[in-house]
């Protein structure tokens, strides 16, 4: 069954994508939650018209996302954390802390669009995270965790 996604669905696609899914997944999950609609001829025509109108806006949004990505990579990012005597962090560094650090640089990113690489960050050091500024602009951002 083909559906048109109304919202981004992780591991499936982004909003306004036409994807093929199993019937049960569409009927029992996507359609009732309002994440997708059936890809009928009228819905496809409406999607094409919407995409045509949004093409100019989308280009502007993408260039802004690329600018923010370059800004985030250019400046060093440090996250302060409370540390015990052995050098281990109390708790762990998470995506919320990284989103706040990026916000301090003037880069606005939703924490849901940040994926930390590897295991939970529980020690001081240098790490990397994958940040999706836009569906086509995904960058690896290096950051450092330091003691407060």
End residue of a domain, out of 20, 44, 60: 60
Whether residues 109 and 51 fall in one domain? no
Would you state the pLDDT for residue 131? 92
Residue 84 pLDDT? 86
User: What distance in Å separates the CA atoms of residue 148 and residue 128, rounded to the nearest whole number?
Assistant: 20
Task: Give me the number of domains the chain comprises.
Answer: 2
Token pair 């939970």 is found at 120
Q: Is 136 exposed, middle or buried (0-12, 13-18, 19+ CB in 10 A)?
A: exposed
Residue with tokens 């965790």: 145
Indicate which CATH number applies to the domain containing 89.
3.10.430.100
Domain stops at, among 33, 60, 87: 60
Tell me what pLDDT residue 31 has: 95
Residues 74 and 113 in one domain: yes
CATH of the domain at 46: 3.40.5.10
pLDDT at 2: 95
Question: At which of 60, 80, 96 does a domain end?
Answer: 60
What is the percent of the chain with per-residue pLDDT over 90, rounded to a whole number?
49
pTM assigned to the model = 0.68
Give me the chain's average pLDDT, please: 90
Question: Which of 50, 99, 44, 36 has the alpha carbon at shortest distance from 72?
Answer: 99
pLDDT band at 45 (very low <50, low <70, confident <90, very high): very high
Q: Which domain holds residue 39?
A: 2-60
Q: Nearest-CA neighbor of 67 among 110, 107, 114, 95? A: 107
Same domain flag for 23 and 76: no
In this structure, are 133 and 80 located in the same domain? yes
Do 73 and 40 share a structural domain?
Answer: no
Contacts of 46 (CB under 8 A, 6+ apart): none
**pLDDT, position 28:** 96
Q: How far is CA 107 from the centre of its chain?
A: 13
């Amino acid at each position: 069954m083909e559906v048109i996604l109304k919202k981004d669905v992780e591991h499936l696609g982004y909003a306004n994508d036409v994807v093929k899914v199993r019937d049960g997944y569409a009927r029992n999950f996507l359609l009732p939650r309002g994440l997708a609609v059936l890809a009928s001829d009228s819905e496809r025509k409406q999607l094409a018209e919407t995409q045509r109108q949004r093409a100019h806006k989308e280009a502007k949004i993408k260039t802004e996302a690329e600018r923010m990505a370059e800004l985030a990579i250019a400046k060093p990012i440090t996250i302060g954390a409370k540390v015990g005597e052995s050098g281990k962090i109390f708790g762990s560094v998470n995506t919320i802390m990284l989103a706040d650090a990026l916000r301090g640089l003037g880069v606005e990113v939703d924490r849901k669009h940040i994926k930390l690489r590897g295991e939970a960050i529980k020690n001081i050091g240098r790490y990397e995270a994958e940040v999706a500024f836009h569906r086509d602009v995904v960058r690896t951002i290096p950051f450092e965790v330091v003691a407060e």
